[in-house]
A and B are shown apart, each in its own frame.
Chain A
Amino acid sequence: MEVAEVTNFLKQTIPFEQLGLAQLAGLAAHFNVYYCQAGEHLEINQERLLIVRTGIFALFSDQQQLLTKLEEGDFYGYQLLLTGLADNDRLICEEDGLVYWLPSDVFHQLRYQYKNIDIFFQRLFGRRLHQYKEQQSSRFTLKVADIVQARKVAISGEQDVQQAARLMSEKRVSSLLVEDDNRLIGILTDRDLRSRVLAAGLPTTTAIKEVMTPKPYTIEKHAYLFEAVQLMSRFNVHHLPVVDQGLSFSMITATDIIRSQQDHPVYLIGEIHRQSSLDGLEHCSLQISNLAQILGKQQVPAYEAGHIITTITDAFTQRLIKLAQQELGPAPCVFSWLSFGSQARMDQSINADQDNALLLEKEPVGDVANYFSQLADFVCQGLARCGIKLCPGNIMASNPELRMSLKGWSGKFSKWIAAPTPDAILKATIFFDMRVVEGSRGLFNALQQDILARTNNSLFLMHMAQTALQRTAPLSFLRNFILEHDGKQKKGLDLKKRGISLITDIVRVYALANGVLEVNTRSRLQQLATDGVLDSKDTQNLCDAFDVLAQLRWDKHLHDLDQGHDASNLLDPAVLSGLQRHQLKDSFAVINAAQSSLKHRFCKEV
């Protein structure tokens, strides 16, 4: 007979929530309930499913490595049940708790009866493999297949060198695979054409097979990248045909490898600055997602990746301003191109939109106004073509209201600060994270100092703090998940709105209250700790929480990219590992505590 306490729990637990009450009661009737004490090792070698009802259980690999922590609603034992193979894991109770055991025959019957439940456990198992593999991977595990595209440019050995040269120019490659009957017989590089054909005075009709490098060294598609590097250095070659199951697949060059390394952003930035047309810039922007994926594979932490992505946006902006000036002529007065929000904070991700404005030395009237209007339009539209979307809120330099002199900007800010209204503050928060991207630094510094001299105003800070407190972190996200819809996608936890932004908002209030010049959230925190405004433990906690959330969002974006979707901030909580859930919960608790102290410090009656 049904124990409501158990069925009610199942009703809220994925994947059982899809069953009817009668089925849930039937399922619960097979449970054995066991109470476990902290420190106890659970017996996990029997074929049965463990469902955590309360408490925390740490799972260790046979190498004593902490794999994950299981909490309410988590499972164990499905790997043995699905594969018949036992892991040499150890499951140790960390906090007293209750577990339910479900016998194997009932588990299998359930999978047989409900396809969705079967899929759920299969996926859980798949993810488990994936997670553990990920932990071991590092930047050294990048494979050849990760960086070369399936772009095979081949030619027959019977054709002549002129045809080869034409194909190379047409396909914009520096080398060709030479094939005979789909069999790789050699390679031909532009260097071969130079030294073995031109320098030797051979005619353009020379057959390729006479001048090619026969029997080249090759590399397997699934080989590690460092193996390719090793081959190249050992035999002093710069081109390696990539083969897949005996057939040629592509070519990997020394340049490909250099590009794939961490200095790739530098390479891309250099390339951006060499472009002389919008088309060229747009072409460069196509490499951003590729770069993001490489950064991801190399486990570059989210905050560094954010920094790199922002630097690239900066480079596009700077180059576009140069291109605009080539067309429009030199600027009629000194100006600063400002960025706001995430670009200013240097924590952009790949789904950021534009937030920019112009600060001018002179009042924008007549020709001056006209010039900057055209410049701003050119740059903003250009950025949009490079994948940095137009700002839906029209916070862009192309908006005439955001092209002002120092006096104009100073007036705008002092209005917000001296007579804050909640509505105005809500719209204005984004402007208080500001950085100069191009143009005069001196002009910008004058504005920033002017603003920071005013912001230590308790009424203004109270309004800023209240705005920062409007949204809260979903502390009880495991059970009563607060899920949001974004229209296009399924619901999920909004990592930005319900996490990252909350921290950014809190830190901004402290920074403005204390005249901190830094704009980056981590740098602001460091400065606040150095100045003794925040205690170092709180700072560290906030910084850690920020990193956890930023990392989750970055990983989510990379995953979206990999799947060919637009990067979204919405995370399905079901895909989190126990450890990630744990970290997420801790992060939310940190935000909650930081919001309380913010309230305490700034929201007293004035």
Chain B
Amino acid sequence: MLGWLKKKPPLYSAVQAFNQVGIPAANTPARECHYLALDLELTGLHAKQDHIVSIGWVPIRNQQICLSEAKHYLFRPPTSVGQSAIYHGVHDKDLKNASELADVLLQLLQDYAGYVFVAHHCRLDRAFLQIAYQRLFGKAPTMQFMDTLNIEWHRMQKQGTVMKKDALRLPQCLARHKLPVSAQHHALEDAYGCALLFLSQLKKSHPHITLGDLLVQSS
């Protein structure tokens, strides 16, 4: 499984290769694109000083979530996970089987070039990933993110719904879409929840909506 370690390409070139593939043209029908729903659990909210505790992802192709590629990795942050454990439930003792962040980030670049990344409230996830790539690879890849929270906000605005506090949190969104709500603050469960929400949002959009138009709604 770790065969790629032997002929490990220079990390910098992996970023370049990823960037070269790029995402589909803006006029591609959104339903035809490939997506990777992902979620990070963090030690804090500051990308420059806090760390990634875990990452979970599931790919979406042909509007189907492929559970065979569902992944969940734990990392050993340089400092103790400390108080953040109360949110994501990952304690220091769980980190015995922790992965190397660099390995996982490389896998992401190699396997999911050409994918649009999907996250719920993607700002933090994107910021942490960018900084981690910058530190470990010397260059941050150009990752296109789709934000299910923004799409939801857009949808509700359009419907003229009065939004209550917390209405845009992932569990509330899933419940609104009558989707199963799973345990929160587990990177893979949340990535899966986000993928479900995105499938529903995609179906509820115009059948021929383009990737470009959907990205506008997501910004």
Binding site for B on A (CB under 8 A): 1-6, 8-9, 28-37, 53-55, 96-98, 101
Could you tell me the distance between the alpha carbons of A30 and B68 in the complex, rounded to whole angstroms?
5
Given contacts A34-B199, A35-B199, contact A3 B64 (CB under 8 A): no
- Chain A residues lying within 8 Å of B188, measured Cβ to Cβ, are 1-3
Q: Which one of A6, A9, A33 lies within 8 Å of B64 (CB-CB)?
A: A33
Could you tell me the distance between the alpha carbons of A4 and B199 in the complex, rounded to whole angstroms?
19
- Chain B residues lying within 8 Å of A3, measured Cβ to Cβ, are 58, 67, 70, 182, 188-189, 192
Given contacts A33-B196, A96-B200, A98-B196, contact A4 B182 (CB under 8 A): yes
Tell me the interface secondary structure of chain B in the complex. mixed
Nearest opposing residue in chain A for B183, CB measure: A4
- B63 near A1 (CB under 8 angstroms)? no
- Chain B residues lying within 8 Å of A1, measured Cβ to Cβ, are 56, 70-72, 188
Nearest opposing residue in chain B for A32, CB measure: B64
Q: Does B65 contact A (CB under 8 A)?
A: yes
Interface residues of B in 181-216 (CB under 8 A from A): 182-183, 186, 188-189, 192-193, 195-196, 199-200, 202-204
Could you tell me the distance between the alpha carbons of A55 and B66 in the complex, rounded to whole angstroms?
20
**Could you give 29 example pairs across A and B, Cβ below 8 Å?**
A1-B70, A1-B71, A1-B188, A2-B72, A3-B188, A3-B192, A4-B182, A5-B180, A6-B67, A6-B192, A8-B182, A28-B67, A29-B68, A30-B68, A31-B68, A32-B64, A32-B67, A33-B196, A33-B199, A34-B199, A36-B203, A37-B204, A53-B180, A54-B179, A96-B177, A96-B178, A97-B178, A98-B179, A98-B180
- Chain A residues lying within 8 Å of B189, measured Cβ to Cβ, are 3-5
Could you tell me the distance between the alpha carbons of A54 and B193 in the complex, rounded to whole angstroms?
14
**How far does the Cβ of B33 sit from chain A's closest Cβ, in whole Å?**
15
With A33-B195, A34-B63, A35-B199 already in contact, 4 other A-B pairs whose C-beta atoms are closer than 8 Å? A5-B192, A6-B67, A31-B68, A53-B180
Given contacts A35-B63, A37-B203, contact A5 B182 (CB under 8 A): yes
- Chain A residues lying within 8 Å of B202, measured Cβ to Cβ, are 35
B contact residues, range: 20 to 34
Could you tell me the distance between the alpha carbons of A33 and B196 in the complex, rounded to whole angstroms?
8
**How far does the Cβ of B94 sit from chain A's closest Cβ, in whole Å?**
15
- A32 near B70 (CB under 8 angstroms)? no
Given contacts A1-B72, A37-B203, A96-B200, contact A9 B63 (CB under 8 A): no
**How far does the Cβ of B13 sit from chain A's closest Cβ, in whole Å?**
28
**How far does the Cβ of A471 sit from chain B's closest Cβ, in whole Å?**
30
- Chain A residues lying within 8 Å of B177, measured Cβ to Cβ, are 96
Nearest opposing residue in chain A for B180, CB measure: A5
- Chain A residues lying within 8 Å of B204, measured Cβ to Cβ, are 37
- 4 residue pairs, one from A and one from B, having the closest CB atoms: A5-B182, A35-B199, A33-B65, A32-B64
- Chain A residues lying within 8 Å of B72, measured Cβ to Cβ, are 1-2
Could you tell me the distance between the alpha carbons of A156 and B190 in the complex, rounded to whole angstroms?
83
- Chain A residues lying within 8 Å of B179, measured Cβ to Cβ, are 54, 98
Nearest opposing residue in chain A for B199, CB measure: A35
Q: Which one of B70, B180, B203 lies within 8 Å of A9 (CB-CB)?
A: B180
**How far does the Cβ of B42 sit from chain A's closest Cβ, in whole Å?**
20
- Chain A residues lying within 8 Å of B193, measured Cβ to Cβ, are 5
- Chain A residues lying within 8 Å of B200, measured Cβ to Cβ, are 35, 96
- Chain A residues lying within 8 Å of B67, measured Cβ to Cβ, are 3, 6, 28-33
Given contacts A3-B192, A34-B63, A34-B64, contact A29 B70 (CB under 8 A): yes
Pick the most buried of A5, A29, A32, A53: most chain B CB atoms within 10 A of its CB: A5
Could you tell me the distance between the alpha carbons of A35 and B177 in the complex, rounded to whole angstroms?
11
Nearest opposing residue in chain A for B198, CB measure: A35
